[in-house]
Structure 1
Amino acid sequence: MKIILATLSLVFAFVWNASANDPAYESAMKKQIQAMKTIQNLEQSQSVINGFVRIAEAKTTEWLPYYYAAYLQTIAAFRFEVNKDQYFDQAMELMSKADKIAPNNSEITVLKGFIIMGKLAVDPMSRGQELSPLAMQTFGKAIALDKENPRATTMMAQMEQGMAQFFGQGPEKACGLARVGLELFAKEEAKINENYLLPTWGKREAEQVAGACK
């Protein structure tokens, strides 16, 4: 009986590992993540976005492909001459798909806040009253979901820095958050290897906020 139970345990373990590790998915994601680093223009950006969307449509249980597609859509809105509102709206649609797969995910929540920041930047005078508190609330939720997420703390630091400058206040709160963010990035970097698929962006933003504190 013990032999039978041990054999069944091995079979279930093998099946679970086979389903948890998908070499084709991981290979495709690594290729697209590497391609992200070489984007020079809008056409290349759209090509990489489309690649992530195709992965998402093929692997419907994974949130990361939609996440990266939305992230690139957001960066494109900041970086290139495009209809920024349209790009941010499309990014949010992609995030809604990711959110359905992985609700209450800190990384997804941070990126939603980043998109809201983008919408705010398009027209801060008319949108500030509505979107500034929403962005702060969203980043606050991301921190609550995962206090070890450096992007959550860093993006909150950026918002605090902007709010302090707007109201003529001191940068102490933003500086403190940025320093915490840099500490969290150092912890994250210790985990990163060639098979790491999770988001790693944001350290530059933390350094920029911290650099203004000197």
Structure 2
Amino acid sequence: MKKLILTMVLLGATFVNAQDRYSKGMEKAFELWQSQKTMEASHMFERIATAEPDKWLPYYYVSQINTIISFGEKDEDKLSEQLQKAKEFLDVAKTISPNNPELLVQEALINTAWIAFDGATYGMTLSPKNAQLYQKAMELSPNNPRVILSKAEWDMGSARYFGKDTAPYCQDVERALELFATFKSETPFYPTWGEERAKEILESCGK
């Protein structure tokens, strides 16, 4: 009985230490990112992902970083390399956490980066996919502010492209901003981005 209790205690201690390493690693990666050391942060998240293959968040953040730095990139080879990496890490995250609205939004952002680079080449094929991704994300998590905001911003971009009024989507952005104040997740390091972006959009919304 004593051996059993000792084994359970040791296993518990190992789990706590592993969790502690994970938390410290994630905190360090975010510190690097906030310090504008973007690629160092990406590499840190990669190392964490390798060490924690059952956690989707490190994979998500590698994907997110490589997507963000792709907006405005003019070198097609570099862009392709970054977005391919983003997609590869996202695909792993999706196997770990299927039907995750945050991952659906991230996939749509990868597609948007391609469209922003060359709308004539990628718009026709990826725009319908984005519409489907945002619709599915809304069905899965209708009160997730990032889902509402991202879909609204996508709809606004589509409206501008076709010369339509963007004002109808302002109320969606406003709703997203309201939800940012109350939306909480019990998962450590869960995405929190979007509130400042919603405020920026609202300032010029409908103008």
Instruction: Verify the 8 A CA contact 2:72 2:117 in the aligned structure 1.
Output: no
1:37 paired to 2:40: no
1:177 to 172, 177, 185: 172
Q: Please give the alpha-carbon distance, in whole angstroms, between the structure 2 residues aligned to 1:116 and 1:52.
A: 22
SS of equivalent residue, structure 1 residue 22: helix
Matching residue of 1:53? 46
Aligned residue in 1 for 2:60: 67
Rounded to whole Å, the distance in 2 between the matches of 1:186 and 1:79 is: 31
Deviations 1:68-122 (Å, cap 9, x if unpaired)?
1111111111255652233112101110011111111111111011111111111
In 2, the alpha carbon distance for the partners of 1:166 and 1:151 equals 22
Q: CA deviation at 1:206?
A: 1.9
Corresponding residue for residue 84 of structure 1: 79
RMSD of Structure 2 on Structure 1 (CA):
2.8
Show CA shifts across 1:112-145 (max 9, x none). 1111111111111232221111112111211211
Contact 2:63 2:90 in 1 (8 A): yes
* Cα distance change on mapping 1:81 and 1:169 into 2, 3 Å: closer
User: Across the two proteins, how many residue pairs are aligned to each other?
Assistant: 198
Identity across matched positions, percent? 30
How far residue 64 of structure 1 moved from its aligned partner, in angstroms, is 0.4
Deviates more, 1:25-34 or 1:80-89: 80-89
The one-letter code sitting in structure 1 at the alignment partner of 2:21 is A
Unaligned runs of 5+ in 1: 1-7
For normalisation by structure 1, the TM-score amounts to 0.82
Map of 1:3 onto structure 2: none
What SS does the corresponding residue of 1:78 show, helix, strand or coil?
coil
> Shift in Å at residue 21 of structure 1?
7.7
1:6-155 matches, cutoff 5 A: 15=12, 18=15, 22-39=19-36, 44-78=37-71, 82=75, 83-155=78-150
Go from structure 1 to structure 2 and tell me whether the alpha carbon gap of 1:137 and 1:115 turns closer, same or farther (over 3 Å shift).
same
Q: Which amino acid aligns with 1:70?
A: S
Distance in 2 between residues matched to 1:179 and 1:172, nearest whole Å: 11
The alpha carbon displacement at 1:196 in A equals 4.3
Deviation of 1:208 (Å): 2.9
4+ aligned runs moved over 4 Å, structure 1 = 18-21, 79-82
In the alignment, structure 2 segments of 5+ residues that lack a partner are none
The two structures have a TM-score, normalised by structure 2, of: 0.84
Q: CA deviation at 1:52?
A: 0.3
- What SS does the aligned partner of 2:148 have? helix
